[in-house]
């Protein structure tokens, strides 16, 4: 009885989350929104989940968090800023970097070479996603980077699931939930 209840509740949660994601992919937060780096430094990203940012300047400093036991990939993370703040950084000034980019898509050999991130201007596309605390190595960056507590973390090399995968998950939730109820009712009829 308890297993049946847990499975049915899990199916309901999966169905509702998948339905919400389908709606968000067409009208809401999963839709790609474009910003400039200056806009993000002034106003943030709002409720956006999937963003493309132009005019991103990266100084080339990065930190690597190796994979933990059971994980396949580590993480490379680096600060990003507007051109104005990048020029301040080049002058040796301390700069506030409110955007942190992180990725699992990098050449593992670049860590030893120290060239995982090429300095200069870039366009970044990814999802707004907090980095796991176990992977966060930002405190190891040089002190000239002022990283606020409410920094925006953007994971590149990822995009939200496409709507038809969420539709498939909804179908799985319905089939699993109905299947559990069918088996339970069948056993109850045999017992009586």
The answer on pLDDT for 121 being more than 90 is yes
- pLDDT per residue over 15-54, tens digit each? 898 888 888 777 777 788 899 999 998 888 888 888 999 9
Residues 6+ apart with CB under 8 A from 131: 75, 77, 100, 102, 153, 155
The answer on pLDDT for 134 being more than 90 is no
Q: What is the DSSP letter of 172?
A: H
Copy the structure tokens of residue 176: 């699993």
Q: What is the pLDDT of residue 44?
A: 87
User: What is the average pLDDT score of the chain?
Assistant: 86
d(CA 117, CA 113): 11
- pLDDT per residue over 48-104, tens digit each? 888 999 999 999 889 988 887 777 778 889 999 999 999 999 888 889 888 999 988
In this prediction, residues 126-131 reach a mean pLDDT of: 87
Q: Are 7 and 178 in contact (CB under 8 A)?
A: no
Radius of gyration (Cα) for the chain, nearest Å? 22
Q: What is the pTM of this model?
A: 0.75
Residues 6+ apart with CB under 8 A from 49: 24, 29, 30, 127, 128, 160
Q: Beta 63-65 vs 75-80: how paired, if at all?
A: antiparallel
Give the number of other CB atoms < 10 A from CB of residue 70.
Answer: 5
Q: What is the pLDDT of residue 86?
A: 92
In this prediction, residues 158-170 reach a mean pLDDT of: 83
Q: In Å, how far from its chain's centre is CA 1?
A: 37
Q: What is the pLDDT of residue 114?
A: 84
CA proximity to 35, closest of 15, 55, 16, 19: 55
Q: Which residue has the tokens 């800023």?
A: 81
């Amino acid at each position: 009885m308890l297993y049946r209840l847990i499975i049915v509740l899990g199916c309901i949660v999966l169905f509702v989350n998948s339905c919400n994601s389908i709606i968000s992919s067409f009208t809401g937060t999963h839709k790609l929104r474009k910003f400039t780096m200056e806009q993000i430094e002034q106003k943030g990203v709002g409720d956006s989940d999937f963003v493309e940012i132009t005019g991103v300047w990266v100084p080339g400093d990065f930190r690597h968090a190796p994979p933990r036991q059971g994980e396949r990939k580590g993480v490379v993370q680096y600060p990003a800023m507007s051109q104005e703040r990048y020029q301040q950084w080049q002058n040796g000034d301390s700069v506030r970097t409110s955007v942190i980019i992180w990725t699992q898509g990098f050449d593992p050999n670049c860590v030893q070479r120290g060239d995982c991130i090429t300095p200069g201007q870039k366009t970044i596309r990814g999802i707004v996603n907090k980095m796991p605390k176990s992977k966060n190595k930002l405190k190891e960056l040089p002190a000239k980077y002022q990283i606020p507590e409410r920094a925006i973390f953007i994971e590149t090399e990822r995009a939200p699931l496409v709507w038809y995968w969420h539709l498939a998950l909804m179908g799985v939730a319905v089939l699993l939930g109905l299947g559990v109820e069918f088996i339970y009712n069948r056993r109850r009829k045999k017992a009586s």
